[in-house]
Amino acid sequence: GTVFILNGPNLNLLGKRQPEIYGRETLKDVEENCTKLAAEHGLSIRFHQSNAEHQIIDWIHEARETAIGIIINPAAFTHTSVAILDALNTFEGPVLEVHISNVHKRESFRHHSYVSLRADGVMAGFGTQGYELALLRMIRLAGLQPV
Ligand code: DQA
């Protein structure tokens, strides 16, 4: 099985961008950690980042045909995008939402998530480890390994 891990705007700058909030690990580091963890459980991942809303929607559509689940950090689109919510609502497998920072500790505009109306679970404030924790949950949901 394949899990899609999708990342929204500005996450290409992870490691350099506001490290006091998002830490020093890069998105490449996150991808490597997730690839390793997935392989240990017999899963493969497709890891993507885009600053463009339409690109993220296109990947969700692609996931409909090829993925057992989606892990998504929609970044700022979390708080704005009905279109990404609608796309996720066309996907039948589990959807897990990840935020590196604890969005609830931050500005009030970050407290609302359109994506949470669809997500089966949300990780927030676990740093970049949140991706791996979400992946472990995905493995459990997929019934592949008792984690
Ligand atoms: C974020 C939180 C969002 O509010 C913000 O716009 C981001 C990153 C996080 O991972 O903590 O870009 O999704």
pLDDT digits over 94-126, tens only?
999 999 999 999 999 999 999 999 999 999 999
Report the nearest atom of ligand 1 relative to the CA of 99. Answer: 10
Split at pLDDT 50, 70, 90, the class of 147 is: very low
pLDDT given for residue 144 in this prediction: 63
Active site (annotated) includes residue 22: yes
Q: What is the pLDDT of residues 45-84, one digit of tens each?
A: 999 999 999 999 999 999 999 999 999 999 999 999 999 9
Catalytic residue (one of 61, 99, 104, 131) = 99
Tell me if 131 sits within 8 A of 96, measured CB to CB: no
How close is the Cα of 25 to the center of ligand 1, in Å?
Answer: 15
Domain ranges within the chain, ordered by starting residue = 57-105
Residue type, 68: I
Ligand 1 pocket member 51 (CB < 6 A): no
ipTM value for the complex? 0.99
CA distance 147 to 144: 9
Ligand 1 proximity of 13 Cβ (cutoff 6 Å): no
